[in-house]
Amino acid sequence: MLDFIKPWIETFQEFLYLAARAFRNIFRTPHYADDIFIQMDVIGVGSLPIVILIGFFSGIIMGLQLGRALTTYGAQGQIGQLVAIALVREFGPVLTALLVAGRNASGIASELGSMKVTEQIDAMRALGTDPIQKLVTPRLIALMVVLPLLTIIADFIGLIGGSLIAIGLLNITWSMYWSSAWRALIYQDLGQGLIKPFLFAIVISLVGCLYGMRTTGGTQGVGRATTQAVVVASIWIFVITSFIDPLFFT
Amino acid sequence: MADPATSEVLRFDDVSLHFDKTPALDHVSFAMNAGETRVVFGAAGSGKTMMLKTAVGLEKPDSGRVILFGEDVTNFKESALFGIRSKVGILFQEGGLFDSMTIADNVAYPLLNQQARRNGDGPLTEAEVDAKVLQTLNFVELGGTLQKYPSEVSGGMRRRVGIARAVVTEPPLVLYDSPTAGLDPITANLIIHLLIKERDSRNTAAVLVTHRYQDGHLMANFRYNPDSGRIEPARKLEGRVKTKFFVMNEGRLVFDGSETELRASQDSYVRKFVK
pLDDT tens digit sequence for B86-112: 889 999 987 889 988 999 999 999 888
**CA of B168: which chain A residue's CA is closest?**
A127
Burial of residue A229, with CB atoms counted within 10 A of its CB: 0-12 exposed, 13-18 middle, 19 or more buried: buried
Cα radius of gyration rounded to whole Å, chain B: 18
If asked whether residues B75 and B180 sit together in one domain, one would say: yes
- Give CA–CA dist A19/B77, Å, rounded: 18
- B78, B86, B94: residue with CB nearest A118: B94
Percentage with pLDDT > 70 across chain B: 92
Chain A 16-75, CB below 8 Å of chain B: which residues?
30
Amino acid at B58: L
Q: Which residue of B has its CA nearest to A120?
A: B96
Length of chain A: 250
Report how far residue A129's alpha carbon sits from residue A229's, in angstroms, rounded to the nearest whole number. Answer: 25
Give the minimum alpha-carbon distance from A226 to chain B in angstroms, rounded to a whole number: 19
Q: Structural domain boundaries of chain A?
A: 33-247
B101 shares its domain with B166: yes
Q: What integer is the mean pLDDT of B217-231?
A: 86
Query: How many structural domains does chain B have?
Result: 2
Say what the pLDDT of residue B2 is: 46
The pLDDT of A202-229, averaged and rounded, is 93
Residues B181 and B239 grouped into a single domain: yes
pLDDT above 70: residue B115: no
- Say whether both B212 and B270 belong to one domain: yes
Lowest-pLDDT range, A52-56, A165-169, A226-230? A165-169
Please, what is the average pLDDT of chain B?
Answer: 86
Residue A174 has pLDDT above 50, yes or no: yes
Residue B241 has pLDDT above 90, yes or no: no
Q: Following CA atoms A130, A135, A136, A140 in sequence, which dihedral angle do they give, to the nearest 10 degrees?
A: 140
Q: Give the mean pLDDT of B106-124.
A: 72
B170, B188, B205 — which closes off a domain? B170
Enter the ipTM.
0.83
pLDDT at B45 (0 to 100): 87
Res A67 pLDDT > 90: no
Which residues is B66 bridged to in the sheet? B12
Q: Is B101 on the interface with A (CB under 8 A)?
A: no
Whether residue B190 sits in one domain with residue B74 = yes
CA-to-CA distance for A223 and B121, rounded, in angstroms? 44
The DSSP secondary-structure symbol of B92 reads B
% of chain A surpassing 90 pLDDT: 63
- On whether any CB of chain B is under 8 Å from the CB of A123, the answer is yes
Q: What is the DSSP letter of B95?
A: B
The span from the CA of B123 to the CA of A189, in Å, is 53
Mutate which: A3, A127, A135, vs B, most B CBs within 10 A: A127
Split at pLDDT 50, 70, 90, the class of B146 is: confident
- In DSSP terms, B232 is beta-bridged to B223
Same-domain check for residues B72 and B188 = yes
Nearest CA in chain A to B167: A127
Pair B12, B82 in one domain: yes
Tell me the range of A141-155, B212-226, B260-274 where mean pLDDT is highest: A141-155
In this structure, the answer to whether residues B67 and B112 fall within a common structural domain is: no
Q: Note whether B180 and B275 are same-domain residues.
A: yes
Cα angle vertex B33, ends B27, B35, to 5°? Answer: 130
Q: In terms of residue numbers, what domain contains B111?
A: 97-170
Burial B38-63 (b: 16+ CB within 10 A, else e): bbbbbeeebbbbbbbbbbbbbbebee
Of A119, A127, A130, the CB nearest to B94: A119
Q: pLDDT (tens digit, 9 = 90+) per residue, B154-193? A: 888 898 899 899 989 889 999 999 888 888 888 888 889 8
Residue B16 covered by a domain = yes
Q: Is 70 exceeded by the pLDDT of residue B119?
A: no
Omega of the bond prior to A93 within 30 degrees of 0, cis? no
One-letter amino acid for residue A80 of the chain: G
Task: Kindly report the number of other CB atoms within 10 A of residue B129's CB atom.
Answer: 18
pLDDT higher at B71 or B241: B71
What's chain A's average pLDDT?
91
Considering only residues B46 and A249, tell me which one the structure prediction assigns the higher pLDDT.
B46
* Neighboring chain B residues of A125 at a CB cutoff of 8 Å: 58, 78, 85
Distance between CA atoms of residues B58 and A131, nearest Å:
12
Instruction: Report the pLDDT value the prediction gives residue B116, as an integer from 0 to 100.
Output: 59
Q: Please check whether residue B209 lies inside any domain of the structure.
A: yes
Beta strands in B167-273 (DSSP E): 173-177, 205-209, 222-225, 230-233, 243-249, 252-257
Tell me the C-alpha distance between B49 and A196, whole Å: 44
**How many other C-beta atoms can be found within 10 angstroms of the C-beta atom of residue A35?**
17
Residues B73 and B112 in one domain: no
Of A145 and B242, the structure prediction assigns the larger pLDDT to A145
Same domain, B83 and B180: yes
Cα end-to-end distance, chain A, whole Å: 39
Residue A14 has what pLDDT? 93
Residues B134 and B164 in one domain: yes
Confidence of residue B1 (pLDDT cuts 50, 70, 90): very low
Task: For chains A and B, count residue pairs whose Cβ atoms are closer than 8 Å.
Answer: 53
Last residue of a domain, one of B146, B170, B194: B170
Q: Does residue B92 fall inside a structural domain?
A: no
* C-alpha span between A127 and B105 (Å, rounded): 13
CB contacts, 8 Å: B58 with chain A: 122, 125-126
Give the residue with greater pLDDT, B6 vs B227. Answer: B227
B203 close to A (CB below 8 A): no
Rg of chain A over all Cα atoms, to the nearest angstrom:
21
Q: What mean pLDDT comes out for the span B18-31?
A: 90
Q: Of B139, B170, B201, which one is at a domain's C-terminal end?
A: B170
Q: Does B30 touch chain A (CB under 8 A)?
A: no
The answer to whether the CB atoms of A130 and B117 lie below 8 A apart is: no
Q: How confident is the model at residue B118 (pLDDT cuts 50, 70, 90)?
A: low
* CATH number, residue B77: 3.40.50.300
Quick: pLDDT tens for A107-123. Answer: 999 999 999 998 899 99
Whether B240 has a pLDDT exceeding 60, the answer reads: no
Cβ contact A120:B96 at 8 Å: yes
Sign of the CA dihedral running A67, A73, A75, A78 = negative
pLDDT given at position A22: 93
DSSP per residue, A168-227: HTS---HHHHHHHHHHH--HHHHHHHHHHHHHHHHHHHHHHHHHHHT--SHHHHHHHHHH
